[in-house]
Structure 1
Amino acid sequence: MKETDREAVATAVQRVAGMLQRPDQLDKVEQYRRREARKKASVEARLKAAIQSQLDGVRTGLSQLHSALSDVKDIQRSLADVSQDWRQSINTIESLKDVKDAVVRHSQLAAAVENLKNIFSGSGLGGATIVRETRDLIEQGALLQAHRKLMDLECSRDGLLHEQYRMDSGNTRDMSLIHSYFGSTQALSDELAKQLWMVLQRCLGTVRRDPTLLVSVVRIIEREEKIDRRILDRKKQTGFVPPGRPKNWKEKMFTVLDRTVTTRIEGTQAGTRESDRMWLVRHLEIIRKYVLDDLIVAKNLMAQCFPPHYEMFSNLLRMYRQALSTRMQELASEDLEANEIVSLLTWVLNTYTSAEMMGNAELVPEVDASNLEPLLSPNVVSALLDTYMSTLTSNIIAWLRKALETDRKDWVKETEPEADQDGYYQTTLPAIVFQVRPAWATPARPGYREEAQVYKEEHLRNRQHPHCYVQYMIAVINNCQTFKESVVSLKRKYLKSEGEASVSLSQPSMDGLLDAIAKEGCGSLLEEVFLDLEQHLSELMTKKWLLGSNAVDIICVTVEDYFNDFAKIKKPYKKRMIAEAHRRVVVEYLRAVMQKRISFRSADERKEGAERMVREAEQLRFLFRKLASGSGEDVDGYCDTIIAVAEVIKLTDPSLLYLEVSTLVSKYPDIRDEHIGALLAMRGDASRDMKQTIIETLEQGPAQASTDYVPIFKDIVVPSLNVAKLLK
């Protein structure tokens, strides 16, 4: 307390010091004293009030504690009394079991009274039963009324079963009794469901004739769906589910519709390949018509009979698409013929999404044909295309072989082949082929080349037969050109775009094959020519030739005579044939030079022989100019080779021989040492050292051929006489 007093005094001193800091404040001392006295009195009053309030609260709390203690003692005494009374009443509770059984019995009887009408009707009392009435209504097609009565029966049965389950779920005897009593209810439900599914199976026809019947079916299904939901909700609370629930009729409805769509698609096949070659075309056309008609009806009529959340049109579209895909897969897996594969792929890839089916204006905008999934996977389409190409190729090859066999029989006729409007020989094969077959189906594929080769070999065994060998070989060559022109024409006609056509037309495989056949045919004809020229070519560069042989005259006459027949060859091949004949005649002439058939003994002989070579070169040049007139073919180059060789032989000054030979080699870079040796040996005046020097010098700087140079000496083989012997 003393410490508190000291703190109070110190605080008071501090406050007084703060009030009396200036002299003029001394006049207000009395005023300050009164103010502080009032504050003190106020604080003391509040302090007294607070202490009094605390004392009152403590007093009240003590009073309540005393009261609570008294109440606890009273409760304790009451509990003791209740415990004593309970022990005394146990026997009394045991005697109330009969009352409990009576309550359960009363509850069951109350449920029975509530369903009294259905029970009496179901037992045959009071006239016709509900079961009979319901069955009659089902047979009459009054499905809504029948369903209403069925609902009443099911409600009575389910109510009794639920009450029995709630009171005594283990009493199987009573549960079985109720099941037995309402046993016909499930049969009625099945009969009604059967009628509903029959209506749904015919829904596309029903919606046209009697849409109210379809609406009734949908209403019944919706009722059952609501009952299913209510029973499933009650199951969560009580665990009880009536027999036959949930019925799931909405799900079954879609299953029935799906099966109906599948059956409708599969049932459109009206025939088989054995009875109708066009069975697949008819089958696909019926499918197209049925699907289009069904979807239009579904969109415009049927969808209005179902609640929006059923999305009936979308579901039907999905079912039809799946059924179509399944059916197309089945058809694709069958052993289809080539034309049937074309029909199937055309229908799947084109007709299905066209305006004739899924792209029809009446299905827009619900159906977007551009976004429909394909009916067949790319792998199946590819497999069908492979099968088609394989089958078609086999069929065409077999057909072409037969056509070629027929054409081959004409080749041995005694009469000449027919000519076209321009006078060119031809057979009927190109016309037959391109009347009925695509552009790629040329007879070059199934053995045209081989047949022409066999034809040639048979002729060479006996050149008197066939009588018109040359004419028919010309026809074979002309056929190749006809095939090429027809291929180009058909590709331009049938290929879709210009780019595709240009790429296809530039492909060399077919043209190359036909050109090869024509080239071999031209070679066979030239071989025929040179077989007749063989005897006269062997006279060249011999003593007989030097003394005045007319071998070249006969050669020119023979070649010209043959080329009068060859005038029936079409221009592209005729032009090549003239050039090849020209080259081969010159090559054979030069081969005669290189075979050392003659060796000139004097300058006069060399001069005479060289001049004769020049005359004959000009004679050959004139012949081939005449044959090539109008073709634009350069026929001078080959004959110039003979003249160049003649210049080497004609040279009178041996010292200039090296220069002349060098000029020859520079003009004809493919000339070889053995050719030079044979040429010098033919001159007969070159010494061994000179020959050796010329050859060795030329070997040191071989000439380079120009890009447009056509080799001629490379085909000339000098007889097996080595250079050393030629130099002797």
Structure 2
Amino acid sequence: MKPSLPPGPEWPEQEKAEQLARGAALKWASGIFYRPEQLARLGQYRSREVQRTSSLEARIKSVVQSYLEGVKTGVWQLAQAFEAAQGTREALGQAHGLLQGMAEAMQTLQPLREQVAQHKQLQVLSQLLPRLRAVPAAVAHTQTLIGAQRLLEAYVCLRELEQLQEETWAPLGGLELPVFEGLGPLAEALGQAVEAAAAVAGQLAREDPALLVAAVRVAEVDAGHTTSLELPPRDWRRRCLQALQEGLERTHFGTPLLLESGALAGWLEALRVALPAELAIAEALVAPCCPPHYKVVQLWTHTLHSGLRRCLQQLLEGPELGAADAFTLLRWTLHVYLGPEMMGSLELGPEADVSQLEPLLTPENIEQLEATFVTQVQVNVAQWLQKALDGEVAEWNREQEPGTDSSGFYHSPLPAIVLQILEENIRVTSLVSESLQRRVHSMALSELGTFLRSFSDALIRFSRDHIRGEAMAPHYVPYLLATFNYQSALSSSVSILQPDGAASGALAPVEAALDELQRRICRLVLEALLVELQPLFEALPSRRWLSSPEVLDDVCERTARFCQDFRRVRIPAVQLLLAEVECTVVLQYLRALMQGRLVCRGADERTQVAERLQHDAAQLRELFLGLRGSRLCPFGPARGCVPRAAPGRTRRPAGRPTALALCGSPRTLQPRASTYSCAVLLSSLRALCLTPGCPRNTATAPGCLNCVLGKGDEIKVGRLGGPCSVKRLKYPGSSPDMGCTSPIPASALYGLHSQVREFLPLYADYRPTYPRQGSELASPAPTLKAE
């Protein structure tokens, strides 16, 4: 009966195989029984299955038999191996016993072995004894050779002594004899002698090249030498090259630099001469004394460059340099050092190229030096300009008038000094770099603006002290006029501060400051004129003014006398002064008339007033035309397009007509471009318009205004040479029988001006100035209405 293993979880393959077999059998049986004709073959199928089962059983038995035979063989081999291991163990035990016996025997032979070693050492020493006795003398001789700088001979003697030491070292088992204790210091002395010779290689190449060659050969020969002695390597080649570099740096950069006046410039100039000469010596004299792989010229170049760079870095880390030293250092490092005078010389070979090395100054160093230079130069420039200004201000209180030039104009060296100081600082920085030039240019413009503001403030203090009487200036107005020439000189020459490539608008702040200074000077001059004329204008209108021309004669006389010094003012400032004086006198005259009060008692008196106005107009016209036609200078276009004071400037846009500013001093100094004359003036005052007959004047001629204040008032408005329109004006509040004796308050005159505006569009910007509150004319002005 065939044994079979019960199916279970331990044999999942068997269970699966049985299921497959049963399935196949059921499939076959179902096929047989489905077809009855196949039942006859059932016996054949049974016999075939019996044969197959027998065959499988035979094969299984064969396999199991072969496995059993293998197991039997393995068991036999294990038994044999166990027997061999037992025999080996017994043999090892016997060997161990023998070894223990030999160790005991060796301990008894140790004294004999020591005796043998000593015998061998004594034998070697006995053979080398004559040579060993000569070692102290050889050491002394070698020391003498080193002192005499006979380096090659000293090295030969040293090598012989070291060879003898090697011969005794191995037989003696590494034992160092006391006789060789001096070889270490002797070798060190020779190495120091080689270093000392290498440190002054340049000098030796000129004076004693044989010594330099000997030192280099000793270093090279020792680099290829090997020894069996357990000594640290001497590395004389590296020490020789290091001594070369240290000697170069010590020669040129070893002395600490004292930051005294001119010390840095002298040191850099000495380097400019010494470094190329050193490289020439290295190429011509030192290089032939050294092996090619030393690359002497390149070594010299790199050593000098790195030493110089390190020295400059230490210099910058110390106290802050002065402006002169910072400028000198920047120019030397950026231009001289790399220029044809030094490292860029054509006489130096490609080995002396330093363009690929680190720059002497880093961008941070350059930024630091530029900032230092600009800061200190700014302080110096500010001090120089302040001293120049103080000297100029001190002259304003002198008893003498301002100095004049050969043409008779007021002259002072102040503008030239200011511009020269600034221009020299800008120009000299172009020798260094564009960035430094831009910095200094910006600084110069800033300091010039500060100087102009200080100059303006000084003028204000000068004027205030003079007006208050604290420091009366004997020649107050001439010195004010002299400052006009200073401003004109600065305006015409400030363009020299503009370097090539600078932004076109860089001078705009300076030009604005100059214009502001010009306006302030003109205002001070006009204030001085008003101080003289104000008492005279206070008499307008009055019976004295109506009956006699003396009041206006005094005005014209004082104005003409005041303008006498204008001939010493240059063009175009004199044109500006005449224009502003003319405007100021006319406006003050009109203000006095409009703010005054005069009672006309009849037609005769009104006619007399009109005649007086006409006479005053003619007199003022004659005054200013006389001033323009005098030797002062042509007045030019007063109301047309007028160029700026400084040549090459742009024109100003037009603004409110200057002649209409009836209150206070003029707010602008330039005659306005494309402006028009006031079209509301009395017919007898038409001559007061500035240069109406100038061929370049684009201004419209004044209108003709005829006022008859009373019943049936009328106004005639028109242009000279053109048709006039007549409008009747009615004074509100007046009775039909108001006669010529009725007073005409100034407020009515202001109301009249407000109505005239509808007839004259050119007068649209005019705003009359009313008296302050509390005066008799402060009541609201009545309005005149046209019929």
Alignment of 1:450-469 (within 5 A): 450-462=457-469, 465-469=472-476
Shift of residue 278, structure 1, vs aligned partner: 3.7
CA contact (8 A) 2:381 2:421 kept: no
The CA deviation at 1:605 is: 6.0
Name the counterpart of 2:236. Answer: 249
Q: Which residue number corresponds to residue 632 of structure 1?
A: 636
Tell me whether 1:262 sits opposite 2:246 in the alignment: no
- Aligned residue number for residue 136 of structure 1: 144
Q: Which digits, 9 at most, give the CA deviation of each residue in 1:668-699, with x for residues without a partner? A: xxxxxxxx99xxxx99789999999996998x
Change beyond 3 A, Cα 1:161–1:578:
farther
Residue 328 of structure 1: aligned partner: 312
Q: Which residue does 1:301 correspond to in 2? A: 285
What amino acid does structure 2 have at the position aligned with 1:120?
R
- Out of 681, 687, 697, the position equivalent to 1:644 is 681
User: 1:613-640 CA deviation, whole Å, 9 max, x = no partner?
Assistant: 4554454344334434523132697395
Equivalent in the alignment of 1:57: none
Q: Deviations over 1:254-309 (max 9, x none)?
A: 43233322322235689874xxx543332221122111111222233323433344
State the partner residue of 1:481.
488
Inter-CA distance 579–185: structure 2 relative to 1 (3 Å threshold): same
Cα distance change on mapping 1:642 and 1:322 into 2, 3 Å: same
Task: Give the drift of 1:343.
Answer: 2.5
Is residue 150–residue 189 contact of structure 1 (8 Å, CA) maintained in 2? Answer: yes
Question: What do the CA deviations read for 1:387-426 (whole angstroms, capped 9, x no partner)?
Answer: 3333333334434444444444433333323211211012
Paired with 1:570 and 1:693, the residues of 2 have a C-alpha distance of: 42
Q: Does 1:147 align with 2:151?
A: no
Partner residue of 1:101 out of 94, 109, 114 = 114
State the partner residue of 2:781: 726
Alpha-carbon separation, structure 2, partners of 1:197 and 1:687: 109
1:725–1:435 distance in 2 versus 1, CA, 3 Å: closer
Pair 1:306–1:314, CA change in 2 (3 A): same
- In the alignment, the residues of structure 2 paired with residue 80 and residue 395 of structure 1 have an alpha-carbon distance, to the nearest angstrom, of 104
Q: 1:116 to 1:312 in 2, by over 3 A?
A: farther
Q: Helix, strand or coil for the counterpart of 1:632?
A: coil
Q: Percent same amino acid among aligned pairs?
A: 24
Task: For structure 1, list consecutive stretches of 5 or more residues without a partner in the other structure.
Answer: 1-68, 169-173, 235-239, 662-675
Shift of 1:445: 5.9
Contact kept? 2:560, 2:627, Cα under 8 Å: yes
Ranges in structure 2 where 5+ consecutive residues have no aligned partner: 1-80, 425-443, 641-656, 661-676, 684-703, 719-731, 734-740
Task: Find the aligned partners of 1:330 and 1:85 in 2 and give their Cα distance.
Answer: 79
| Alpha-carbon spacing, 1:203–1:693, altered in 2? closer, same or farther (3 Å) | closer
Could you tell me which residue of structure 2 aligns to residue 592 of structure 1? 592
Are residues 693 and 112 of structure 1, via their aligned partners in 2, closer, same or farther at CA, if it must alter by over 3 Å?
Answer: same
SS at 2:224's partner residue? helix
Provide the rounded CA distance (Å) in 2 between the counterparts of 1:478 and 1:254: 71
AA aligned opposite 2:405: D
In structure 1, the partner of 2:407 is 422
1:111–1:159 Cα contact (<8 Å) kept: no
Partner of 2:345: 360
State the shift of 1:569 in Å: 1.1
C-alpha spacing 1:105/1:432, structure 2 compared with 1 (3 Å): same
Partner residue in 2 for 1:536: 536
Check conservation: 1:541, 1:597, Cα contact below 8 A.
yes
Measure, in 1, the Cα distance between the counterparts of 2:163 and 2:390.
Answer: 87
Q: Which residue of 1 aligns with 2:195?
A: 197
- Give the Cα separation in 2 of the matches to 1:248 and 1:82: 58
- Residue 42 of structure 1 aligns with which residue? none
Q: Match of 2:636, as an amino acid? A: G
Give distance in 2, aligned partners of 1:356 and 1:108.
Answer: 70
Q: TM-score, normalised by structure 1?
A: 0.69
Q: Secondary structure at the match of 2:351?
A: coil
Q: Aligned-pair distance for 1:106?
A: 6.1
Counterparts of 1:99-498 in structure 2 under 5 Å? 100-101=113-114, 104-105=117-118, 108=121, 118-122=131-135, 124=136, 129-158=137-166, 160-161=168-169, 167=173, 174-175=175-176, 178=177, 180-227=178-225, 230=226, 241-242=230-231, 245-266=232-253, 273=260, 277-332=261-316, 333-334=318-319, 336-368=321-353, 370-430=355-415, 438=423, 440=444, 444=451, 447-462=454-469, 465-489=472-496, 491=497, 495=499, 497=500
Amino acid at match of 1:581: V
Q: Secondary structure at the match of 2:678?
A: helix
TM-aligned CA distance change 1:322 to 1:85, over 3 Å? closer
Q: 1:102–1:523: structure 2 CA closer, same or farther, 3 Å change rule?
A: same
Is residue 396–residue 476 contact of structure 2 (8 Å, CA) maintained in 1?
Answer: yes
For residues 372 and 142 of structure 1, the distance between their equivalents in structure 2, rounded to whole angstroms, comes to 39
Stretch of structure 1 that moved more, 91-100 or 520-529: 91-100
Task: Please state how far the C-alpha of 1:91 moved relative to its aligned partner.
Answer: 5.7
Deviation, structure 1 residue 479: 2.5
Q: Please list the CA deviations of residues 315-336 of structure 1 after superposition, one character each: whole Å capped at 9, or x if unmatched.
A: 3322211221233234443454
CA distance in structure 2 between the partners assigned to 1:488 and 1:591 by the alignment = 42
1:225, distance to aligned residue in structure 2 (A)? 2.7
Q: How does 1:494-505 map to 2 (within 5 A)?
A: 495=499, 497=500, 499-500=501-502, 503=504
Q: Following TM superposition, by how much is the alpha carbon of 1:133 offset from its aligned partner in structure 2, in angstroms?
A: 1.7
1:661-672 mapped onto 2 (5 Å cutoff): none
Going from structure 1 to structure 2, the CA distance change for 1:217 and 1:685 (only over 3 Å counts) comes to same
Aligned letter for 2:477?
Answer: V
Aligned equivalent of 2:562: 562
> Residue 574 of structure 1 aligns with which residue?
574
Equivalent AA in structure 1 for residue 138 of structure 2: I
Measured in 1, the distance between the counterparts of 2:750 and 2:570 equals 49
RMSD after superposition: 4.7
1: CA distance, partners of 2:376 / 2:219:
53
Q: As a proportion of its length, which structure holds more helix?
A: 1
Q: 1:688 to 1:386 in 2, by over 3 A?
A: closer
CA distance in 2 between partners of 1:606 and 1:367 (Å): 103
Q: 1:507 Cα deviation (Å)?
A: 0.6
1:724 Cα offset (Å): 5.8
Change (3 A) 1:94 1:536: closer
Distance change in 2, residues 1:344/1:693 (3 Å)? closer
Contact 1:118 1:153 in 2 (8 A): no
Task: Decide whether the 8 Å contact of 1:599 with 1:684 is kept in 2.
Answer: yes
Contact between 1:397 and 1:445, CA under 8 Å: does it hold in 2?
no
